[in-house]
Amino acid sequence: MKIKRMFIDGKWIDAQNGKTRTIINPYNQETIATAAEGDTSDAKAAIAAARKAFDQGEWPNTPAVERASIVQKIAELIERDKEELAELESLDTGKTLEESRWDMDDIAGVFRYYAEIVDQNSGEMIASPIPNSVSKVVHEPVGVCGQITPWNYPLLQASWKLAPALVTGNTLVMKPSEITPLTTVKIFELIEEAGVPAGVANLVLGPGNTVGSELSTNVEVDLISFTGGIETGKKIMQAASVNVKKLALELGGKNPNIVFADAEFETAVDQAMNAVFFHAGQICSAGTRLIIEESIHDNFIEALVERVKNIKIGNGFDEDTQMGPLISGEHLTKVENYVEAGKKEGATLVVGGKRPEDPALQDGFFYLPTIFTDCTTDMSIVQDEAFGPIITVEKFQTEEEAVNLANDSIYGLAGGVWTNDIVKAERCVSKMRMGTVWINEFNLYFPHAPWGGYKQSGIGRELGKLGLEEYTETKHIFHNTDPKPFNWF
């Protein structure tokens, strides 16, 4: 089996230590690839290549229109290889092939969006209050960017970082999750094919405690962008202080989904499922906290449970599969412990709460869609991010109570409100402390709108124009057009 290699300074190489890692399919634990397992030495080599390419290379000074053309080419190559990329993503993560195809469309869209808007970030003339002067603001690339991506949406999250970094003239070192590197390796093949110069985009495979740590602490790295767990994010934030790196952190969420009694009932039930059970709940914005108005609570739960029982679990490559496995045995154990904690805390388990009994699923990391009722915000299952196919249900009686429940969290990534009263909806979302709030929708995003969270869900924004600005420094240039002696002394 051909080893998936790293890409450093325009060359495909093995790890310096000679180590490799076996990549498995979470559906049945079969080996699907062998990947290089780099460490600190590989990270340092990649950083040195990126540093040289930024300080001595042409990429930062290449006209934005030329960089945009190359980024647009990457989008076209993604569309060309969409089916191969989707299959790799489903093999690597276990998600359904249909979900992976949607991801690839979105990923191509991200590259295309940033190729189209980069000229809108060229700068501006500002009115100077000083006579005989010209004043302007320009935006320049940050420098060398360290980028660390998660296992749940490997290539989607990579695209959110790669596209804006490249189009604004930065150089970069990317570290994907060591357990889901396959589509990231493929995208670097496309980056090379598109004509990105050697040293500009570098890929290092390996674990976070070596490769990720080096990216965070190395003083030659100017920016660190991380998507992942909150505890790791805190460590990266501390490590990055060594040279006061720019930081972009997306650290997950525990997202409320409020359903008022006047909501469209069937639609709200359907979307409450969609909000959680795509990709087995392994979504940072999953609406795992379902907050239901008391008057419709029992009917809503009854309808939801009946629907949940019919979710088809299985191989992501089977057309009738609606939900695949969890990513690993380690993560499956974490989800099981989370459910046991919910039982001990007094929540009522109404469906799921165990592994499936189907013999065909025993080799995979499957867990049944699960619903807990009688939940309160003092329970760990309401506060902690499970990252699995689990819904916790809380009740409310008043609008104020619903908003207070929704905000009772250390996280603030996303949330939803379901009601036919638009004035009430607007009142609620204006008080909800989250980076994205949907009205009569959940888990919708597009490249044009910024993505990120309040509170401990992170720092900064990806996507949208703000996602472009994360990868630039702002410089004010003042020009005195008629300099004269001041004669102060």
Q: Please give the positions annotated as active site.
A: 250
Query: How far is residue 388's CA from residue 381's CA, in Å, rounded to a whole number?
Result: 11
Query: How far is residue 211's CA from residue 226's CA, in Å, rounded to a whole number?
Result: 13
Of 261, 225, 274, 273, nearest in space to 245 by CA: 225
List the helix and strand counts (H, then E) for the chain: 15, 23
Query: Do 470 and 461 form a contact (C-beta atoms < 8 A)?
Result: yes
Distance of CA 275 to the CA centre of its chain: 16
Four-residue CA torsion sign, 233, 234, 239, 240 = positive
Query: How far is residue 12's CA from residue 181's CA, in Å, rounded to a whole number?
Result: 15
Of 149, 144, 177, 179, nearest in space to 161 by CA: 149
- Paired with 438 in beta bridges are 416
Query: How far is residue 273's CA from residue 482's CA, in Å, rounded to a whole number?
Result: 67
Three-state DSSP at 139 gives strand
